[in-house]
């Protein structure tokens, strides 16, 4: 088990599969020395033409998934993202053998992966989460909707089982008004953010305080500009909402669809 490239006869396919972390450009030293994947096994490349899969052999008989596997997957992709563009593969993707990686994953779509890697070059993903200050937005809801205010008065301090129907109705109304406010606020935020990014991917959440969760793909050269814009927005809205920008993370949200084609 040495060298940067994994070859077919190194693994016993009856007991061992090939865990795939992501796709990178072949040719250069894309795997940092000492990078370990699942079970602390070194990460290696299976190359085909211009592209390569970053993989490690993985025992097929194993206990139910553990946190170590999630963390290893994440760690490997972060390390790969630091050395150049990477197409992250979904967590838990295991192929039967090296030939399958070459002929099913890489071979038929080699040009597609090369194009996607080129599109991801010098770009990073940042995850923006905007959450309402819950009591502020709920106070707005009560103030703006007479039915909500009325039902709220009727159900406050009443035992849960007595006013059950009213409480459900109140919750429905609050949910509807929140959806409306959220749509307006999210549109406004997106309108100011999108001019600074290459692409975006909305994520939904079902929480009361949810305003906007969006993955942003940003040119490295424009990150400061985006952060300045977000800082301005966060300041303007700070009484109603909280802005959190996480990352950079590997471009998990930008590997499918046709944003780059």
Partner 1 sequence: MTVASQRRSGGYLERPAPSGLADVVEVILDKGLVIDAYVRVSLVGIELLTIDARIVIASVDTYLRFAEATNRLDLYEKGGKDLTEAIGDLQESGAAKKVGGAVKGAKKALTGGDDDEGRRPAKKSSRSRRREEA
Our CB check for partner 1 shows the closer of 2 and 91 to be: 91
Q: Which of 78, 110, 114, 198 binds partner 1 (CB under 8 A)?
A: 78
Helix (H, G, I), strand (E, B) or coil at 100: helix
CA dihedral 99, 105, 107, 110 (to 10 degrees): -150
Residue 195 CB, nearest approach to partner 1 (Å)? 17
Among 43, 2, 1, which residue's Cα sits nearest to residue 24? 43
Among 221, 203, 219, which residue's Cα sits nearest to residue 211? 203
Q: Is 110 in the site for partner 1 (CB under 8 A)?
A: no
Range 155-174, binding partner 1 (CB under 8 A): 155-156, 167-172, 174
Residue 52 CB, nearest approach to partner 1 (Å)? 14
Q: Which of 111, 144, 207, 220 binds partner 1 (CB under 8 A)?
A: 207
Q: Is 222 in the site for partner 1 (CB under 8 A)?
A: no
| 27-35, 40-48, 189-197, 198-206 -> range binding partner 1 (CB under 8 A) | 198-206
Residue 87 CB, nearest approach to partner 1 (Å)? 6
Residue 93 CB, nearest approach to partner 1 (Å)? 5
Among 203, 207, 206, which residue's Cα sits nearest to residue 246? 203
The burial class, CB within 10 Å (0-12 / 13-18 / 19+), for 109 is middle
Q: Is 93 in the site for partner 1 (CB under 8 A)?
A: yes
In a 13 Å sphere around the CA of 156, the CA atoms on its Cβ side amount to 6
Q: Which of 31, 76, 178, 211 binds partner 1 (CB under 8 A)?
A: 178
- CB neighbour list of residue 91: distance below 8 Å, 6 or more residues apart: 69, 70, 73
Euclidean distance between CA atoms 26 and 52, whole angstroms: 5
Q: Is 185 in the site for partner 1 (CB under 8 A)?
A: no
Contact criterion met (CB below 8 Å) for 141 and 179: no
Q: Is 36 in the site for partner 1 (CB under 8 A)?
A: no
x/- letters, 112..151, toward partner 1 (CB under 8 A): ---------------x-----xxxx-xx-xx-----x---
- CB neighbour list of residue 33: distance below 8 Å, 6 or more residues apart: none
Residue 7 CB, nearest approach to partner 1 (Å)? 19
Euclidean distance between CA atoms 154 and 139, whole angstroms: 16
Range 43-62, binding partner 1 (CB under 8 A): 60, 62
Q: Is 238 in the site for partner 1 (CB under 8 A)?
A: yes
Residue 171 CB, nearest approach to partner 1 (Å)? 3
Q: Is 152 in the site for partner 1 (CB under 8 A)?
A: yes
């Amino acid at each position: 088990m040495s060298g940067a490239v994994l070859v077919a006869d190194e693994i016993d396919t009856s007991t061992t599969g090939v865990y795939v972390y992501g796709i990178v450009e072949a040719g250069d030293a894309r795997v940092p020395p000492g990078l370990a994947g699942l079970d602390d096994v070194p990460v290696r490349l299976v190359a085909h033409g211009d592209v390569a899969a970053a993989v490690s052999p993985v025992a097929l008989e194993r206990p139910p998934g553990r946190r170590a596997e999630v963390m290893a997957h994440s760690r490997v992709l972060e390390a790969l993202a630091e050395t150049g563009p990477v197409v992250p593969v979904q967590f838990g993707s295991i192929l039967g053998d090296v030939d399958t990686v070459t002929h099913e994953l890489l071979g038929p779509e080699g040009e597609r992966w090369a194009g996607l890697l080129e599109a991801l070059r010098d770009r990073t993903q940042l995850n923006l989460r905007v959450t309402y200050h819950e009591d502020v937005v709920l106070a707005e809801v009560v103030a703006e909707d007479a039915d909500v205010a009325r039902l709220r008065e009727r159900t406050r301090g009443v035992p849960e089982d007595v006013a059950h129907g009213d409480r459900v109705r109140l919750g429905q109304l609050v949910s509807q008004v929140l959806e409306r406010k959220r749509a307006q606020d999210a549109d406004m935020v997106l309108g100011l953010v999108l001019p600074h990014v290459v692409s975006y991917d909305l994520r939904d959440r079902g929480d009361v305080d949810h305003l906007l969760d969006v993955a942003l793909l940003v040119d490295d050269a424009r990150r400061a500009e985006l952060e300045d814009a977000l800082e301005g927005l966060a300041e303007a809205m700070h009484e109603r909402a909280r802005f959190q920008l996480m990352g950079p993370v590997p471009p998990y949200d930008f590997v499918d669809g046709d944003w780059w084609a």
